Amino acid sequence: MSGTSLFPFAELPESLVEQVLAKSERIGEDLHKSLLKIKDAKKEMRRQLEEAKLLRKDVDLGETPVPTTCGIDGSFAVEKLLSMDLVACAAVAIEGLIPPSEKKSREKPDHQVFIRPEKHDAETGNLIRGLMAEMEIDLAESSKNDVVFMDGSLGSRIIHLNQAFSKVRMPPETETEVAMVDGLYRLLKNYKKILESKADAGQPEQQWVSVPKYTTRGEIGSRFNWPSDYDDRAIMTIILTAGEFTTPVKLTSDKDNWHLKLPYPDEALESLRDEIEKAMDGLRVMYYKPNTFSPAMRIEIPESVAMNDSRLAIVLCGLKYQCSNPAIFEPYPLYMADRMVKHLPSALPAFRQTATRKMAELTDGDLTEIFFSMQSYRTE
């Protein structure tokens, strides 16, 4: 164990630590007061939900076999070197806990990865994050599981794609830009399939579900003018009991952010874009508390799933089965996917060292320029 983890204040001035600790005490007092405000209003909030017919129990949906599940998550990193940027992104698909009646559908995690050197550019982060979103969508669409959990919001992906597409030059000038526009039709087709979640002819229905850990949205709280100290997920964790969920309501949208700006004009792409935006308008959000030891989960689902109790029962059954460990505050496959793929940024220096060693092997004479050019711009 490193000294930093044992002594988190080791390199901070003593007076600074004392001042922050004193302010932390006052922060605790303020947060306690706001929490008491929510607890005192708990009964009234439940009454509002019941009167609006927004409070339901999972048992009311009927029994359903435990579905197979997987979790999709991605990560990206930009390491700024003296001569250029080393960019990387990856996405993984992790099998959930296997129901007793099923066999494992994948022996090892599915994944996609991209790593390239790029010239210094302030927009590289937006491009590589958009490419990560593409990978997550591709892996989610290709999954054969009954329920596919995606980390983050379904709506945030179109925002990330927008930010990336707005920075793509035509014709593309970098490898990252080429990767962004390569297979663009396939990407939009896959995204549309996820957002609509309609079953193909002769194929079993699949449920694509987004489970964001963090959100600033408050679709339910704003409806009842609840205190703004806490967001909907925090409040639902306090007022919902095990097995309760809120009736799916329309996801609040930002029309400007949800208008997909394509990198170049194309009639087929524009038609797909319009269908995606229509499907985005149908997205629904709900909260579900699977167990007493779990926080409330924010669940974003397509309209076709939200309006069908049978499909909704499959989603909730999958969530409850994958949230059976009190130490894990999210569905098991998402937890595992997050743990795996979030190691990418910390592994990037090792990849850089491998590239540096190869450059040294291919060079005769002085290696100074190589080591300087491949050195981080900061002192390590």
Task: With cut-offs at 50, 70 and 90, classify the pLDDT of residue 2.
Answer: very low
Structure tokens belonging to residue 96: 């959930």
C-beta neighbour count of 323 within 10 angstroms: 23
pLDDT tens sequence across 28-45: 888 888 888 888 889 999
Task: Provide the percentage of residues in the chain whose pLDDT is more than 70.
Answer: 94
**Averaged pLDDT, 79-97:** 91
Strands 147-151 and 110-118: unpaired
Question: Residue 255: its pLDDT value, please?
Answer: 59
Asked whether the whole model's pTM tops 0.85, one would answer: yes
Question: Residue 351: its pLDDT value, please?
Answer: 82
pLDDT tens sequence across 222-249: 899 988 778 899 899 999 999 999 999 9
**Averaged pLDDT, 67-78:** 95
pLDDT tens sequence across 284-319: 999 999 999 999 999 999 999 999 999 999 999 999
Res 355 pLDDT > 60: yes
pLDDT tens sequence across 122-168: 888 999 999 999 999 999 999 999 999 999 888 888 889 999 998 89
Contact between 333 and 96 (Cβ < 8 Å): yes
Helices (H), 199-248: 219-224, 232-239
Residues near 350 by Cβ (< 8 Å), separated by ≥ 6? none
Task: With cut-offs at 50, 70 and 90, classify the pLDDT of residue 107.
Answer: low
Contact between 59 and 86 (Cβ < 8 Å): no
Q: Which residues of 196-211 are buried (b: 16+ CB within 10 A; e: fewer)?
A: bbeeeeeeeebbbbbb
Res 57 pLDDT > 80: yes
- Residue with more model confidence, 223 or 351: 223
Question: Residue 263: its pLDDT value, please?
Answer: 92
Question: Residue 256: its pLDDT value, please?
Answer: 60
Res 281 pLDDT > 80: yes
All structural domains of the chain, each given as residue ranges with its CATH number in brackets, are: 56-345 (3.30.2170)
Question: Residue 5: its pLDDT value, please?
Answer: 53
Res 359 pLDDT > 50: yes
Residue 79, strand partner residues: 86
Question: Residue 1: its pLDDT value, please?
Answer: 43
